Structure 1
Protein backbone atom coordinates (compact mmCIF):
# COMPACT_ATOMS: atom_id res chain seq x y z
CA UNK A 1 0.00 0.00 0.00
CA UNK A 2 1.24 3.50 -0.84
CA UNK A 3 0.17 6.51 1.24
CA UNK A 4 0.64 10.23 0.65
CA UNK A 5 0.93 11.91 4.04
CA UNK A 6 0.17 15.63 4.21
CA UNK A 7 1.06 18.04 7.02
CA UNK A 8 -1.13 20.98 5.94
CA UNK A 9 0.07 24.54 6.14
CA UNK A 10 -0.39 27.71 4.13
CA UNK A 11 3.31 28.66 4.01
CA UNK A 12 4.80 25.16 4.12
CA UNK A 13 2.72 22.09 3.34
CA UNK A 14 4.68 18.93 4.10
CA UNK A 15 4.19 15.98 1.75
CA UNK A 16 5.64 12.49 2.01
CA UNK A 17 4.97 9.17 0.32
CA UNK A 18 5.55 5.93 2.22
CA UNK A 19 5.01 2.41 0.95
CA UNK A 20 4.49 -0.85 2.81
CA UNK A 21 2.07 -2.93 4.83
CA UNK A 22 1.43 -3.41 8.55
CA UNK A 23 3.93 -5.86 10.03
CA UNK A 24 6.44 -5.35 7.21
CA UNK A 25 9.27 -2.84 6.81
CA UNK A 26 8.12 0.49 5.36
CA UNK A 27 10.04 2.42 2.74
CA UNK A 28 10.33 6.06 1.80
CA UNK A 29 9.24 6.85 -1.74
CA UNK A 30 9.70 10.64 -1.62
CA UNK A 31 9.35 13.60 0.72
CA UNK A 32 9.19 17.35 0.27
CA UNK A 33 7.44 20.60 1.04
CA UNK A 34 5.06 22.68 -1.06
CA UNK A 35 5.85 26.33 -0.31
CA UNK A 36 3.81 29.46 -0.93
CA UNK A 37 4.85 33.09 -0.74
CA UNK A 38 3.28 35.37 1.84
CA UNK A 39 3.37 38.05 -0.88
CA UNK A 40 0.48 36.28 -2.63
CA UNK A 41 -3.13 36.57 -1.54
CA UNK A 42 -4.69 33.51 0.13
CA UNK A 43 -6.67 32.29 -2.92
CA UNK A 44 -3.50 32.18 -5.06
CA UNK A 45 -1.59 30.47 -2.26
CA UNK A 46 -4.30 27.79 -2.07
CA UNK A 47 -4.11 27.29 -5.84
CA UNK A 48 -0.35 26.77 -5.48
CA UNK A 49 -0.96 24.12 -2.81
CA UNK A 50 -3.62 22.44 -4.96
CA UNK A 51 -1.30 22.28 -7.97
CA UNK A 52 1.50 20.92 -5.80
CA UNK A 53 -0.63 18.17 -4.27
CA UNK A 54 -2.07 17.28 -7.69
CA UNK A 55 1.49 16.92 -9.00
CA UNK A 56 2.36 14.52 -6.15
CA UNK A 57 -0.82 12.52 -6.78
CA UNK A 58 0.01 12.32 -10.50
CA UNK A 59 3.58 11.25 -9.93
CA UNK A 60 3.14 8.73 -7.11
CA UNK A 61 -0.47 7.42 -7.53
CA UNK A 62 -1.04 6.68 -3.82
CA UNK A 63 -3.69 4.24 -2.59
CA UNK A 64 -4.70 6.66 0.18
CA UNK A 65 -4.17 10.22 1.36
CA UNK A 66 -3.63 10.83 5.09
CA UNK A 67 -3.87 14.35 6.50
CA UNK A 68 -3.24 15.71 9.97
CA UNK A 69 -6.55 16.53 11.66
CA UNK A 70 -6.59 20.17 12.72
CA UNK A 71 -7.63 21.34 16.16
CA UNK A 72 -8.47 24.95 17.01
CA UNK A 73 -5.77 26.81 18.83
CA UNK A 74 -5.75 30.28 20.33
CA UNK A 75 -4.17 31.87 17.21
CA UNK A 76 -7.14 31.92 14.81
CA UNK A 77 -5.21 33.56 11.96
CA UNK A 78 -2.66 30.73 11.91
CA UNK A 79 -5.22 27.97 12.19
CA UNK A 80 -7.35 29.36 9.33
CA UNK A 81 -4.57 28.93 6.77
CA UNK A 82 -3.85 25.41 8.02
CA UNK A 83 -7.53 24.43 7.83
CA UNK A 84 -7.81 25.87 4.31
CA UNK A 85 -4.75 23.90 3.18
CA UNK A 86 -6.19 20.72 4.74
CA UNK A 87 -9.45 21.30 2.86
CA UNK A 88 -7.56 21.65 -0.43
CA UNK A 89 -5.74 18.37 0.28
CA UNK A 90 -9.04 16.59 0.96
CA UNK A 91 -10.55 17.89 -2.27
CA UNK A 92 -7.52 16.81 -4.31
CA UNK A 93 -7.77 13.24 -3.03
CA UNK A 94 -11.56 13.00 -3.15
CA UNK A 95 -11.72 14.38 -6.70
CA UNK A 96 -9.65 11.36 -7.82
CA UNK A 97 -11.65 8.86 -5.78
CA UNK A 98 -8.71 8.19 -3.44
CA UNK A 99 -9.65 7.38 0.17
CA UNK A 100 -8.83 10.34 2.43
CA UNK A 101 -8.26 9.92 6.18
CA UNK A 102 -7.35 12.26 9.00
CA UNK A 103 -5.23 11.47 12.05
CA UNK A 104 -4.86 13.62 15.14
CA UNK A 105 -1.41 14.80 16.25
CA UNK A 106 -1.59 12.60 19.35
CA UNK A 107 -2.51 9.54 17.21
CA UNK A 108 0.48 10.22 15.00
CA UNK A 109 2.85 10.68 17.95
CA UNK A 110 1.58 7.50 19.63
CA UNK A 111 1.75 5.43 16.45
CA UNK A 112 5.27 6.50 15.54
CA UNK A 113 6.93 6.86 18.96
CA UNK A 114 4.65 4.99 21.35
CA UNK A 115 4.01 8.22 23.26
CA UNK A 116 1.06 10.50 22.41
CA UNK A 117 2.93 13.42 24.00
CA UNK A 118 6.23 12.97 22.16
CA UNK A 119 7.97 16.12 20.98
CA UNK A 120 8.93 16.88 17.36
CA UNK A 121 12.51 15.66 17.80
CA UNK A 122 11.33 12.29 19.12
CA UNK A 123 8.86 11.88 16.24
CA UNK A 124 11.48 12.86 13.66
CA UNK A 125 13.98 10.45 15.22
CA UNK A 126 11.51 7.58 15.06
CA UNK A 127 10.53 8.40 11.45
CA UNK A 128 14.25 8.27 10.58
CA UNK A 129 14.59 4.84 12.24
CA UNK A 130 11.34 3.36 10.89
CA UNK A 131 12.19 4.32 7.31
CA UNK A 132 15.88 3.47 7.77
CA UNK A 133 17.02 6.90 6.56
CA UNK A 134 20.61 8.13 6.66
CA UNK A 135 19.55 11.52 8.02
CA UNK A 136 16.40 13.02 9.55
CA UNK A 137 14.02 14.50 6.95
CA UNK A 138 13.96 18.30 6.96
CA UNK A 139 12.20 20.62 7.47
CA UNK A 140 9.92 19.47 10.30
CA UNK A 141 6.87 19.71 8.00
CA UNK A 142 8.37 17.00 5.78
CA UNK A 143 9.09 14.72 8.75
CA UNK A 144 5.54 15.27 10.03
CA UNK A 145 4.09 14.31 6.63
CA UNK A 146 6.02 11.03 6.74
CA UNK A 147 4.84 10.38 10.31
CA UNK A 148 1.23 10.87 9.16
CA UNK A 149 1.73 8.43 6.27
CA UNK A 150 3.31 5.86 8.62
CA UNK A 151 0.42 6.25 11.05
CA UNK A 152 -2.09 5.59 8.29
CA UNK A 153 -0.23 2.50 7.11
CA UNK A 154 -0.05 1.10 10.62
CA UNK A 155 -3.42 2.21 11.98
CA UNK A 156 -5.68 3.35 9.18
CA UNK A 157 -4.67 1.16 6.27
CA UNK A 158 -6.37 -1.93 7.61
CA UNK A 159 -9.56 -0.02 8.36
CA UNK A 160 -9.55 1.47 4.85
CA UNK A 161 -9.41 -2.05 3.38
CA UNK A 162 -12.27 -3.18 5.64
CA UNK A 163 -14.39 -0.15 4.65
CA UNK A 164 -13.62 -0.74 0.97
CA UNK A 165 -14.58 -4.40 1.27
CA UNK A 166 -17.81 -3.49 3.04
CA UNK A 167 -18.60 -0.96 0.32
CA UNK A 168 -17.97 -3.55 -2.38
CA UNK A 169 -20.06 -6.15 -0.57
CA UNK A 170 -22.96 -3.78 0.15
CA UNK A 171 -24.50 -3.92 -3.36
CA UNK A 172 -24.26 -7.73 -3.28
CA UNK A 173 -26.01 -7.90 0.10
CA UNK A 174 -28.66 -5.43 -1.06
CA UNK A 175 -29.16 -7.41 -4.26
CA UNK A 176 -29.53 -10.58 -2.20
CA UNK A 177 -32.18 -8.96 0.02
CA UNK A 178 -33.99 -7.67 -3.09
CA UNK A 179 -33.94 -11.14 -4.68
CA UNK A 180 -35.29 -12.71 -1.47
CA UNK A 181 -38.08 -10.12 -1.22
CA UNK A 182 -38.96 -10.62 -4.89
CA UNK A 183 -39.06 -14.40 -4.47
CA UNK A 184 -41.27 -14.05 -1.38
CA UNK A 185 -43.54 -11.67 -3.26
CA UNK A 186 -43.84 -14.08 -6.19
CA UNK A 187 -44.54 -16.99 -3.85
CA UNK A 188 -47.26 -14.97 -2.12
CA UNK A 189 -48.74 -14.08 -5.53
CA UNK A 190 -48.79 -17.73 -6.65
CA UNK A 191 -50.47 -18.90 -3.46
CA UNK A 192 -53.04 -16.14 -3.81
CA UNK A 193 -53.67 -17.19 -7.41
CA UNK A 194 -54.16 -20.83 -6.42
CA UNK A 195 -56.78 -19.92 -3.84
CA UNK A 196 -58.98 -18.20 -6.42
CA UNK A 197 -62.01 -20.27 -7.53
Structure 2
Protein backbone atom coordinates (compact mmCIF):
# COMPACT_ATOMS: atom_id res chain seq x y z
CA UNK A 1 0.00 0.00 0.00
CA UNK A 2 1.28 3.42 -0.95
CA UNK A 3 0.46 6.32 1.38
CA UNK A 4 0.93 10.05 0.94
CA UNK A 5 1.17 12.31 3.98
CA UNK A 6 0.62 16.05 3.86
CA UNK A 7 1.79 18.65 6.39
CA UNK A 8 -0.12 21.74 5.19
CA UNK A 9 1.09 25.31 5.40
CA UNK A 10 0.35 28.42 3.35
CA UNK A 11 4.06 29.15 2.75
CA UNK A 12 5.48 25.61 2.95
CA UNK A 13 3.48 22.39 2.58
CA UNK A 14 5.39 19.18 3.23
CA UNK A 15 4.64 15.90 1.49
CA UNK A 16 5.89 12.39 2.08
CA UNK A 17 5.22 9.12 0.30
CA UNK A 18 5.83 5.70 1.81
CA UNK A 19 5.05 2.08 1.03
CA UNK A 20 3.62 -0.08 3.78
CA UNK A 21 3.73 -3.81 3.10
CA UNK A 22 3.65 -6.68 5.61
CA UNK A 23 4.21 -4.22 8.46
CA UNK A 24 7.35 -2.82 6.81
CA UNK A 25 7.84 0.83 5.94
CA UNK A 26 9.70 1.92 2.83
CA UNK A 27 10.58 5.47 1.87
CA UNK A 28 9.46 6.49 -1.62
CA UNK A 29 9.76 10.29 -1.76
CA UNK A 30 9.37 13.51 0.19
CA UNK A 31 9.69 17.21 -0.31
CA UNK A 32 8.08 20.58 0.11
CA UNK A 33 5.76 22.80 -1.88
CA UNK A 34 6.91 26.39 -1.43
CA UNK A 35 4.54 29.31 -1.99
CA UNK A 36 6.52 31.95 -0.15
CA UNK A 37 6.63 34.49 -2.98
CA UNK A 38 5.54 37.63 -1.14
CA UNK A 39 3.95 39.14 -4.27
CA UNK A 40 1.65 36.14 -4.64
CA UNK A 41 -1.88 36.50 -3.26
CA UNK A 42 -3.24 33.99 -0.77
CA UNK A 43 -5.63 32.65 -3.41
CA UNK A 44 -2.73 32.12 -5.83
CA UNK A 45 -0.83 30.27 -3.08
CA UNK A 46 -3.84 28.01 -2.48
CA UNK A 47 -3.96 27.30 -6.21
CA UNK A 48 -0.27 26.38 -6.14
CA UNK A 49 -0.85 23.99 -3.22
CA UNK A 50 -3.78 22.33 -5.02
CA UNK A 51 -1.87 21.98 -8.30
CA UNK A 52 1.33 20.77 -6.65
CA UNK A 53 -0.44 18.17 -4.48
CA UNK A 54 -2.28 16.98 -7.62
CA UNK A 55 1.11 16.63 -9.34
CA UNK A 56 2.53 14.63 -6.40
CA UNK A 57 -0.49 12.30 -6.60
CA UNK A 58 -0.07 11.81 -10.35
CA UNK A 59 3.63 11.06 -9.91
CA UNK A 60 3.45 8.64 -6.96
CA UNK A 61 -0.07 7.15 -7.29
CA UNK A 62 -0.87 6.64 -3.58
CA UNK A 63 -3.66 4.32 -2.40
CA UNK A 64 -4.63 6.41 0.63
CA UNK A 65 -3.80 9.84 2.00
CA UNK A 66 -3.31 11.48 5.37
CA UNK A 67 -3.28 15.11 6.46
CA UNK A 68 -2.34 16.83 9.69
CA UNK A 69 -5.29 18.56 11.36
CA UNK A 70 -5.30 22.28 12.07
CA UNK A 71 -4.29 23.28 15.57
CA UNK A 72 -5.60 26.43 17.17
CA UNK A 73 -2.94 29.10 17.06
CA UNK A 74 -2.68 32.22 19.19
CA UNK A 75 -2.98 34.26 16.00
CA UNK A 76 -6.42 33.75 14.36
CA UNK A 77 -5.07 34.92 10.98
CA UNK A 78 -2.41 32.17 11.06
CA UNK A 79 -5.00 29.56 12.02
CA UNK A 80 -7.23 30.64 9.13
CA UNK A 81 -4.33 30.55 6.64
CA UNK A 82 -3.35 27.07 7.81
CA UNK A 83 -6.96 25.91 7.48
CA UNK A 84 -7.13 27.27 3.94
CA UNK A 85 -3.89 25.52 2.95
CA UNK A 86 -5.21 22.31 4.47
CA UNK A 87 -8.44 22.71 2.53
CA UNK A 88 -6.58 23.15 -0.76
CA UNK A 89 -4.55 19.99 -0.09
CA UNK A 90 -7.58 17.94 0.98
CA UNK A 91 -9.50 19.09 -2.09
CA UNK A 92 -6.68 17.80 -4.30
CA UNK A 93 -6.76 14.46 -2.45
CA UNK A 94 -10.52 13.94 -2.65
CA UNK A 95 -10.59 15.00 -6.32
CA UNK A 96 -8.44 11.90 -6.88
CA UNK A 97 -10.97 9.79 -4.91
CA UNK A 98 -8.49 8.98 -2.14
CA UNK A 99 -9.53 7.94 1.34
CA UNK A 100 -8.17 10.67 3.64
CA UNK A 101 -7.14 10.05 7.23
CA UNK A 102 -6.75 13.10 9.48
CA UNK A 103 -4.57 13.25 12.57
CA UNK A 104 -3.63 15.92 15.07
CA UNK A 105 0.06 16.75 15.56
CA UNK A 106 -0.21 15.21 19.04
CA UNK A 107 -1.52 11.90 17.59
CA UNK A 108 1.21 11.81 14.96
CA UNK A 109 4.03 12.49 17.42
CA UNK A 110 2.72 9.95 19.90
CA UNK A 111 2.37 7.32 17.18
CA UNK A 112 5.77 7.89 15.57
CA UNK A 113 8.00 9.05 18.44
CA UNK A 114 6.11 7.75 21.47
CA UNK A 115 5.49 11.18 22.96
CA UNK A 116 2.91 13.74 21.91
CA UNK A 117 5.27 16.47 23.09
CA UNK A 118 8.19 15.42 20.87
CA UNK A 119 10.20 18.19 19.21
CA UNK A 120 10.51 18.59 15.45
CA UNK A 121 14.12 17.39 15.72
CA UNK A 122 12.99 14.22 17.52
CA UNK A 123 10.42 13.59 14.77
CA UNK A 124 13.10 14.10 12.11
CA UNK A 125 15.45 11.63 13.81
CA UNK A 126 12.73 9.01 14.27
CA UNK A 127 11.73 9.34 10.61
CA UNK A 128 15.37 8.88 9.61
CA UNK A 129 15.57 5.71 11.70
CA UNK A 130 12.17 4.23 10.79
CA UNK A 131 12.74 4.71 7.07
CA UNK A 132 16.46 3.83 7.22
CA UNK A 133 17.55 7.11 5.64
CA UNK A 134 21.14 8.38 5.58
CA UNK A 135 20.00 11.84 6.67
CA UNK A 136 16.80 13.30 7.99
CA UNK A 137 14.48 15.08 5.55
CA UNK A 138 13.56 18.73 6.20
CA UNK A 139 11.22 19.43 9.11
CA UNK A 140 8.16 19.88 6.88
CA UNK A 141 8.92 16.75 4.83
CA UNK A 142 9.61 14.77 8.04
CA UNK A 143 6.29 15.89 9.49
CA UNK A 144 4.52 14.77 6.30
CA UNK A 145 6.28 11.38 6.40
CA UNK A 146 5.27 11.05 10.06
CA UNK A 147 1.63 11.70 9.09
CA UNK A 148 1.91 8.98 6.43
CA UNK A 149 3.40 6.51 8.94
CA UNK A 150 0.62 7.30 11.40
CA UNK A 151 -1.92 6.52 8.65
CA UNK A 152 -0.14 3.24 7.88
CA UNK A 153 -0.38 2.15 11.51
CA UNK A 154 -4.00 3.31 11.75
CA UNK A 155 -4.99 1.54 8.53
CA UNK A 156 -3.26 -1.68 9.64
CA UNK A 157 -5.08 -1.58 12.97
CA UNK A 158 -8.42 -1.10 11.20
CA UNK A 159 -7.72 -4.12 8.97
CA UNK A 160 -6.90 -6.27 12.01
CA UNK A 161 -10.12 -5.18 13.73
CA UNK A 162 -12.13 -6.03 10.62
CA UNK A 163 -10.51 -9.47 10.39
CA UNK A 164 -11.17 -10.25 14.05
CA UNK A 165 -14.80 -9.10 13.67
CA UNK A 166 -15.32 -11.50 10.76
CA UNK A 167 -13.96 -14.41 12.79
CA UNK A 168 -16.63 -14.00 15.46
Matches within 5 A, 1:106-117: 106-117=106-117
CA distance in 2, matches of 1:126, 1:156: 20
1:13 aligns to 2:13 (yes or no): yes
Residue of structure 1 equivalent to 2:69:
69
- The alignment's C-alpha RMSD in Å is 1.7
Q: How does 1:1-197 map onto structure 2 within 5 Å? A: 1-21=1-21, 24-36=23-35, 37-138=37-138, 140-159=139-158
CA contact (8 A) 1:106 1:116 kept: yes
Tell me, which stretches of 5 or more residues in structure 1 are unaligned?
164-197
Count of residues in Structure 1 that have an aligned counterpart in Structure 2: 161
- CA–CA distance in 2 between the matches of 1:86 and 1:13? 9
Contact 2:51 2:92 (C-alpha < 8 Å) held by counterparts: no
Please tell me whether the aligned partners of residues 128 and 136 of structure 1 are also in contact (alpha carbons under 8 angstroms): yes
- SS of the aligned residue for 2:24 comes to coil
Point out 4+ residue stretches in structure 1 off by more than 2 angstroms.
Answer: 156-163
Give the superposition deviation at 1:91. Answer: 1.0
Please give the per-residue CA displacement for 1:170-194, whole angstroms capped at 9, x wherever unaligned: xxxxxxxxxxxxxxxxxxxxxxxxx
Contact kept in structure 1, 2:124 and 2:137, CA below 8 Å: yes
Specify whether residues 161 and 8 from structure 1 end up closer, same or farther in structure 2 by C-alpha distance, changes over 3 A only. Answer: farther
Return the TM-score normalized by structure 1.
Answer: 0.77
Query: Shift of the alpha carbon at 1:119?
Result: 1.1
In structure 2, the gaps of 5 or more residues are: 163-168
In structure 1, how many angstroms separate the alpha carbons of the residues matched to 2:135 and 2:63? 27
After superposition, give the CA deviation of every residue in 1:10-36 in whole Å (9 maximum; x if it has no partner). Answer: 000000101114x62211100000011
| 2-structure distance, mates of 1:141, 1:4 | 14
CA displacement 1:117-157 (0-9 Å, x = unmatched)? 1111111110100000000101x111100010011101235
CA drift of 1:77 comes to 1.6
TM-score (structure 2 length as normaliser) = 0.90
Contact 2:65 2:98 in 1 (8 A): yes
- The structure, 1 or 2, with the larger RCO (C-alpha pairs under 8 Å, 6+ apart) is 2
Contact 1:67 1:103 in 2 (8 A): yes
- Deviation string for 1:72-100 (max 9, x for gaps)? 11111212111111111111111121101
